[in-house]
Amino acid sequence: MSLKCGIVGLPNVGKSTLFNCLSSAKAQAANFPFCTIEPNVGMITVPDERLQHLAEIDQPKRVIPATMEIADIAGLVKGASKGEGLGNKFLSHIRETDAIIHVLRCFDDGNITHVDGSVDPIRDKEIIDTELQLKDLETIESRLGKVEKQAQSGGDKNAKRLLEILKRYQEVLLQGKSARTVELDSKDDRRLARELFLLTDKPVLYVCNVDEASAVTGNHYVEAVKAAVAGENAQCLVVAAKIESEIAELETYEEKEMFLSELGLKESGVARLIKAAYALLDLQTYFTTGPDESRAWTFVRGTKAPQAAGIIHSDFEKGFIRAEVIKYDDYVRLRSEAACKEAGRLSVEGKDYVVQDGDILHFRFNV
């Protein structure tokens, strides 16, 4: 399944540096605004130690990890919602993403120009938020008149419900809050809301880009950001993009591990960021494994077995008969499908089975 995260932020906060660490694609990184005009897009792998353990057991010909698309979207500026700084183009690129990675500058460096003259991540966050909220308000208000007429005529059964949703969004946006702060109870309401494609309704991960000294502990800028996003239903992550770029240049896994250890980090910021973005989209992983291939497959939490089978091939879903399920811990402990079967650790599940993170699956189907 194709999923896309967009990296956003003001110019010169470290977006392109972070993107270069995430992807083998090399975005131009320079000390001036609008260095990135078209969104650089890269396909990144999702780090998962479980896949490596399965490959060690089965020694397959191929190992295929889960992937995610990531886009480096050019720096937004104040007035973007009205087209300032190529704003309309940038906002359309954000609309195409499933989630937003919002990079905030949380470091001091006199050699790197800040577009607004000083370091203030809360101000920077509010500039971006305001521009996205204004664009969403424009979207809402352009729909309201039409939906009000439909609700009054009674011709569209969903119009009254949609009108209520639009008014709720309009209310919070006028208060300077993002659409994601509105909680919708029913599945139908959430479906109607998704069709609006609101920018501030997308899940967001705030990335505090810090200096090396703050990579482990954070700093006062980070604490201010955490306090500012506390009521926003959003995640916050601390990453030192400059360090990550140095790690990316190292040749071997051992060198990277030693570098991280010296800094007091258990895992690279890039790995943590990818995992956080994966979780942000409510994604999980199931595996298929054997002598030919060990592979990670991405699915949305709550997916049932036939739909999970369809991720591999549509015929698997159409002709679904059953799923043979082994839990990851059992497979690693017993070290083969045959041993799991003999120990009674292989279960046979039908169409109503909800796939769990880490399941090792074999689908039976007939087309």
Checking if the pLDDT of 88 tops 90, the result is: no
> Which burial class, exposed, middle or buried, applies to 344 when counting CB atoms under 10 A from its CB (0-12, 13-18, 19+)?
exposed
Distance of alpha carbon 343 from alpha carbon 312, whole angstroms: 28
pLDDT band at 1 (very low <50, low <70, confident <90, very high): low
Checking if the pLDDT of 237 tops 70, the result is: yes
Cα four-point dihedral sign 98, 205, 185, 145: negative
Read off the tokens for 127: 């500039």
Per-residue pLDDT reduced to its tens digit, 340-356: 999 999 999 999 999 99
Decide which of 221 and 254 is more confident. Answer: 221
Read off the tokens for 242: 């400059």
Determine the average pLDDT of the residues in 260-267: 90
Checking if the pLDDT of 97 tops 60, the result is: yes
Checking if the pLDDT of 116 tops 80, the result is: no
What pLDDT is attached to residue 113? 76
pLDDT band at 226 (very low <50, low <70, confident <90, very high): very high
What pLDDT is attached to residue 26? 44
Percentage of the chain lying above the pLDDT 70 cut: 90
Highest mean pLDDT pick, 97-101, 184-188, 249-253: 97-101
Decide which of 332 and 116 is more confident. Answer: 332
Per-residue pLDDT reduced to its tens digit, 6-52: 999 888 899 888 988 887 544 444 444 444 445 688 888 888 999 99
Q: For tokens 């159409």, what's the residue?
A: 318
| SS3 (DSSP) at 206 | strand
Inter-axis angle of helices 15-22 and 269-280, nearest 10: 90
pLDDT band at 73 (very low <50, low <70, confident <90, very high): confident
Question: Which pairing describes strands 235-239 and 204-209: parallel, antiparallel, or unpaired?
Answer: parallel
Give one DSSP letter per residue of 114-161, joined into a string.
-TTSS--HHHHHHHHHHHHHHHHHHHHHHHHHHHHHHHHHT--TTHHH
Torsion angle, alpha carbons of 183, 186, 187, 191, to 10: -60
Checking if the pLDDT of 84 tops 60, the result is: no
Decide which of 220 and 77 is more confident. Answer: 220
What pLDDT is attached to residue 367? 83
Torsion angle, alpha carbons of 243, 249, 251, 257, to 10: 10
CA angle, 357 then 21 then 45, to 5°: 30
Checking if the pLDDT of 76 tops 70, the result is: no
Determine the average pLDDT of the residues in 196-213: 94
Determine the average pLDDT of the residues in 159-164: 92
Average pLDDT, the chain: 88
What pLDDT is attached to residue 293? 97
> Which burial class, exposed, middle or buried, applies to 308 when counting CB atoms under 10 A from its CB (0-12, 13-18, 19+)?
buried
pLDDT band at 89 (very low <50, low <70, confident <90, very high): low
Torsion angle, alpha carbons of 298, 20, 47, 55, to 10: 100
Distance of alpha carbon 205 from alpha carbon 14, whole angstroms: 15
**Cβ partners under 8 Å of residue 132, min gap 6:** 81, 91, 94, 178, 199, 200
The pTM is what?
A: 0.86
